[in-house]
Amino acid sequence: MTDQPTSSTRIGYPATTAARVLGPAVPAAVVAGRWPSRGSIGHPELCQRGCIKHAAGQCAAGAACDFCHFRHARDYKLERTDRQLLRRLSRFNLLRITLTLLERRIGARRAQAAAIFQ
């Protein structure tokens, strides 16, 4: 039994990553060396959160680990004034900004996503 949670809570939502969808089997892409662990699939946008045991050099799960074994940048934390501004936005404007940012990220990661879902 692991002391790590079974799902990531990035942005407050449970993760629905490739590793969770694939079930207990270790994907062929992991075995082939494309990703070091099940949780690393789709790094950096679609993977699970970073494995704290791997970062400490103590992850015994190896390729079967449900957490990402790549290095992750620290999550960006909004300043107080930025958070207040976001709270004042209408739902429409907040969704419009979110959609614009997602479209930019998708465009930047299109090649990576194509390789993952082939």
CA distances from 60 to 3, 30, 34, 54, 55 (A): 13, 16, 19, 8, 12
Indicate the range of 23-27, 66-70, 100-104 predicted with least confidence.
23-27
- Rounded CA-CA distance 39/50 in Å is 8
- Please give the structure tokens belonging to residue 46: 């679609």
pLDDT in tens, 68-101: 998 887 777 889 999 999 999 999 999 999 999 8
Looking at residue 76, its pLDDT comes to 75
pLDDT in tens, 51-68: 989 888 899 988 889 899
pTM over 0.85: no
